[in-house]
Amino acid sequence: MYSPAGVRTSPDFPIPDHMKAWVLGNPGELTLKDKPVPVPKKAEVLVRIDAVAICATDLEIIQHGPPASIQGGLPFNKNFTPGHEYMGTVVALGPGVDEYRIGQRVTVEIHAGCGQCKRCREGMYTACHNYGLNYGDLDKGHRANGFTTDGGFCEYQVNNINTLVAIPDDMSDEEATLVVTAGTAMYGLTELGGLVAGESVVVTGPGPIGLLGVAVAKSLGAQPVILTGTRDNRLKMGLELGADHVVNVKNEDPVEAVRKLNGGKGVDYVVECSGAPNAVNEAIRMVNRGGKVCLAAFPHEQVPVDIAHIVRNNIYLFGIRGEGKSATHRAEAFMSQKRFDATKVHTHTFPLADLPTALKYARERIDDAIKVVVKARGVSAASKVAAE
């Protein structure tokens, strides 16, 4: 059985030497294989993965590669396991770790910076200058599980203690996988100024980050909160999560609609979560002079932007990567205090062994799938469970 030197374990949580893990071969090709259970180093723990949510970025990585970078290149055929939005139970402690205990339920951030570069020292670990330098024998301390190191579509994974977020016992596994998504929205609002009470906010794009962006903004006291998108069912969910107004951009001009809904003037903030080709130009016309725009989505191609309009109107643009500056801790606090119900965006659950089907549901939005969760335990192999 698993007993690496210097690693503390417990007989209450027996750990095998090998685990089941999905491994990426050629683009779009995943195979369930046996892998050695990883060993935590200093300031790391071993997490038994209980549930993983599927992110649109996972779909991009599996099919195309970027933004994953394994050994400085595409992640294909490198024994790489994707997946990054996971939660689980601490089952082993690396040398010197006493901040967490074996048996503790946690959800995890994606990024652990190297801790020694300029950005990490500033607290911007998602912009670590040693990004990607921690795969195989090379060890700069940086990890971005599911991007530059093995991720969560498996049974066990190593995490730096700085990436762990303790969760209460009454938070379900499925809800805990959504803390990172809410944390990304929280990070965007933090970079825009943090104190948004009484400020007007537009969220563009009703995907999981956009929908939870509405919930977080409203929980922070923003007024009004306006959600724009193309799918009525997602816009309806946005209303349930706290949006004061929704705009279907297929039916009306989003810039004109937003200005009309805010008394004829632009809004204070826009959180852009759609990645649509014209989203940035629309966002900078939604905000008032001196307004701020946060870019939280990855457009597929380079897009032209009206820089002159930005300069003339003193507009600020912020790009965010992931869930930085400990935003997941703040998001978890809101969720554990029931400030909003993140589980509304969870629609389907599948067992780990049925990951290809789960990915198909997420990719093709079968049965109006929004957030699809994969569970390593507790779901029968033949079942597909829709969230209530």
pLDDT(54) > 70: yes
> Do 313 and 345 have their domain in common?
no
Q: How do residues 331-376 score in pLDDT, each as one tens digit?
A: 999 999 999 999 999 999 999 999 999 999 999 999 999 999 999 8
Check: CB of residue 123 under 8 Å from CB of residue 34.
no
In a domain, 140, yes or no: no
Residue range(s) defining the domain that contains residue 302 = 183-319
Percent of the chain clearing pLDDT 70 (strictly above): 96
- Average pLDDT over every residue of 150-170: 97
The whole-model pTM stands at 0.93
- Average pLDDT over every residue of 29-44: 96
Residue 150, CA atoms < 13 Å, CB-side half-sphere: 25
Two tokens at 344?
Answer: 């509304």
Q: How do residues 108-151 score in pLDDT, each as one tens digit?
A: 999 999 999 999 999 999 999 998 887 665 677 788 999 999 99
> Do 157 and 200 have their domain in common?
no
> Do 357 and 300 have their domain in common?
no
In a domain, 280, yes or no: yes
CATH assignment at residue 52: 3.90.180.10
- Average pLDDT over every residue of 61-74: 94
Residue 133 pLDDT: 81
> Do 23 and 156 have their domain in common?
yes
Residue 138 pLDDT: 61
Check: CB of residue 257 under 8 Å from CB of residue 236.
no
Q: How do residues 241-262 score in pLDDT, each as one tens digit?
A: 999 999 999 999 999 999 999 9
H or E, element range at 35: strand 30-36
Percent of the chain clearing pLDDT 90 (strictly above): 88
36/48 Cα distance (integer angstroms): 13
Residue 382 pLDDT: 39
pLDDT(387) > 60: no
Two tokens at 362?
Answer: 């997420």
Q: How far apart are the first and last CA of the chain?
A: 39
Residue 289 pLDDT: 96
- DSSP symbol at 167: -
> Do 60 and 159 have their domain in common?
yes
Residue 44 pLDDT: 95
Q: Last residue of some domain: 319, 352, 378?
A: 319
Residue type, 143: R
Check: CB of residue 104 under 8 Å from CB of residue 159.
no
Confidence category of residue 234, pLDDT binned at 50, 70, 90: very high
- DSSP symbol at 343: G
Number of domains in the chain: 2
Q: How do residues 352-361 score in pLDDT, each as one tens digit?
A: 999 999 999 9
pLDDT(383) > 60: no
Give the torsion sign (CA, 74, 80, 83, 89).
negative
- Average pLDDT over every residue of 32-45: 96
In a domain, 351, yes or no: yes
> Do 187 and 160 have their domain in common?
no
Q: How do residues 189-221 score in pLDDT, each as one tens digit?
A: 999 988 899 999 999 999 999 999 999 999 999
> Do 312 and 367 have their domain in common?
no
In a domain, 129, yes or no: no
In a domain, 177, yes or no: no
> Do 188 and 282 have their domain in common?
yes
